[in-house]
Amino acid sequence: MTPTPQEKKTGAAPGLLKSAGVVSASIAISRITGLLRESVLGGLFGAGSVFDAYVLGYRIPMLSRELFADGALSHAFVPEFTKTQTTQGHEAARELSNIMGTMVLLIVGVFCLAGIFAAPLFVDIFAPGFQAIPGKRGLAINLVRVMFPFLLFVSLSAQVQGILNANHRFGIPAVSSAIFNLSSIATGLILGHFTSLGTVYGMAAGVFLGGVVQLLFLLPGMWQLGYAWRPAWNLSHPGVKRILVLMGPAILGNASSQINSLVNTNFAAGLMDSSGHVMNGPVSWLSYAFRFLQLPMGVFAVAIASATLPRISRSAAAANWPEFRESLSRSLVLICLLTIPSAAGLITLGGSMIGLVFEHGKFLPSDTHQTALALSCYALGLSGAATVKVMSPAFYALGDAKTPMLVSLSSVVVNAMIAWGLIHFAGMGHIALALSVAAVSTFTSILLILLIRPRIGGIRGGFLLDSFFRIALASTATGITAWLIRLFSHSFLHGRTAYVVDLVLGVPAGVAVFYGLATVLHVPELAEARAAILRKRKAKSA
């Protein structure tokens, strides 16, 4: 593989496992601080009208972020930027970066202004059930308006992260989310307690300020690489044209994910209790549960995807398909190795994790139970969702944004049918919505794998299936071990003490069982990682 100019300065590109490890460690810090942020919110607001409104106010700009910044922009920009840097050099890459930065500033800035004015429309579309509870709709509208400008700063941050990742600077972009979480908590609490804003508006303003701090944290890394932003505008630039061509289908593809979220939020906001009244809580329970799911998603899936995309983009640019297949198949096995046992742990120990982190202040044991049920269902689709994080960018690296778009759009029908059926025929309430998300993730991941095979001459299907079943077998034993420990502890302990014992005993026991059985079953990526560690130790001793 031909090295980029940056690689010539810093050495060969780091291996996939090493790159993913750097990102994973950084994202772990970010996700833990994210849980800290949610714990603070849980204690302040519990699971009811105020937090439901806060969740919606935060979700609307976040959905726009996932639609544009983390989705279309990142997936379209990184392959083209990497290609330009590899084939045309630093100056051409800097010109492309300047033009895209200017476009993001202008277009997203205008969109933020429109979003502030359209906040009532957004709330009525996403959560019409809020109108049934006095004051809930108005609070949600105001919170949308306070938090919407966050989108501009996070979009600019997404481009900076793409530049850093393309130059193998994975740690700083990954840990920047921790900076956002900590700064949003700190500024939110300060504004809530020492100004007239009040707690909920203070925390909302903290989201906006956290986005500003995150961007300021990222900029020095980009400047060190020689990519200081200068205003530029050239829509006829070939690289910009290719990015826009990829972004069109990418936005439509990501829009389907947001439609799914819209449908599920709409269902959750309108769920009724046994007496026929609209419930307070389902939106909050799903939000808290999804936050826990984001821990393994970020630590594993996002880390592996961030490390994989620059590698396969260079392979695609050089038409090196054997290398492309090898990098992609290894990434998928690594996804399975990390997410399948994680799902087993979330299903069996998720309730204890939720109780330990959230069950204080206004967050009640009943909220822990309902959130844990949602988390167990979300976890069933963890591997599928993580696989999509790797597979969709693989198509973008091939210059194909149409295929993931069509697959994503088809998921809208699958999600709506499953969610509606489980709510209306099975009476499963908010659990139905978590199950529909899991089903859609699994459906989408399988379809993307099947569709990419003929494009790259295969994807080592036998190797992937064999690895999957070995990992699944070891993970099943892990889940059974954790469940037995939880069953034992809850037979004589209660509350936070039981939660602590569950995790202190269950997590290490589950990890030990998985590692031991996976070693006996010769899971490939685990064996390779162990061999690499041994080689490193021998080299040091020599």
C-alpha torsion angle, residues 65, 223, 307, 71 (rounded to 10): 20
State mean pLDDT over 372-394: 90
The region of weakest confidence among 235-244, 255-264, 366-375, 387-396 is 255-264
Tokens at residue 325, please?
A: 């297949």
Tokens at residue 443, please?
A: 């459906």
Between the two ends of the chain, the Cα-to-Cα distance in Å is 30
State mean pLDDT over 457-476: 88
Q: What are phi and psi of 272, to 5 degrees?
A: -115, 150
Contact 253, 405 (CB under 8 A): yes
Strand runs (DSSP E) across 262-421, as ranges?
Answer: none
Contact 342, 382 (CB under 8 A): yes
Q: What is the pLDDT of residues 411-439, one digit of tens each?
A: 888 888 888 888 887 778 888 888 998 99
Distance of CA 126 to the CA centre of its chain: 21
Q: What is the pLDDT of residues 273-307, one digit of tens each?
A: 666 676 777 878 888 888 788 778 877 777 787 77
Most confident residue range from 217-231, 417-431, 470-484: 470-484
State mean pLDDT over 366-390: 90
CA–CA gap between residue 423 and residue 433 (Å, rounded):
8
The amino acid occupying position 77 is F
Tokens at residue 204, please?
A: 């909302």
CA–CA gap between residue 11 and residue 26 (Å, rounded):
22
CA–CA gap between residue 150 and residue 188 (Å, rounded):
14
CA–CA gap between residue 316 and residue 479 (Å, rounded):
39
Contact 32, 41 (CB under 8 A): no
Q: Pick from 264, 203, 261: which is nearest to 38 by CA?
A: 203
Confidence of residue 7 (pLDDT cuts 50, 70, 90): very low
Contact 343, 301 (CB under 8 A): no
Specify the DSSP element, H or E, that contains 233.
Answer: none
291 Cβ neighbours under 8 A, 6+ residues apart? 34, 35, 38
CA–CA gap between residue 417 and residue 440 (Å, rounded):
11
State mean pLDDT over 51-70: 74
Q: What is the pLDDT of residues 154-166, one digit of tens each?
A: 888 888 888 887 7
> Looking at the chain, how many residues does it have?
542
Tokens at residue 153, please?
A: 């700063």
Position of tokens 């449908």? 263
Torsion sign (Cα): 419, 138, 42, 70? positive
Tokens at residue 243, please?
A: 């990015």
Q: Pick from 386, 510, 331: which is nearest to 518 by CA?
A: 510
Q: Pick from 127, 183, 119: which is nearest to 154 by CA?
A: 183
CA–CA gap between residue 147 and residue 61 (Å, rounded):
7
The region of weakest confidence among 22-31, 350-359, 398-407 is 22-31
Confidence of residue 29 (pLDDT cuts 50, 70, 90): confident
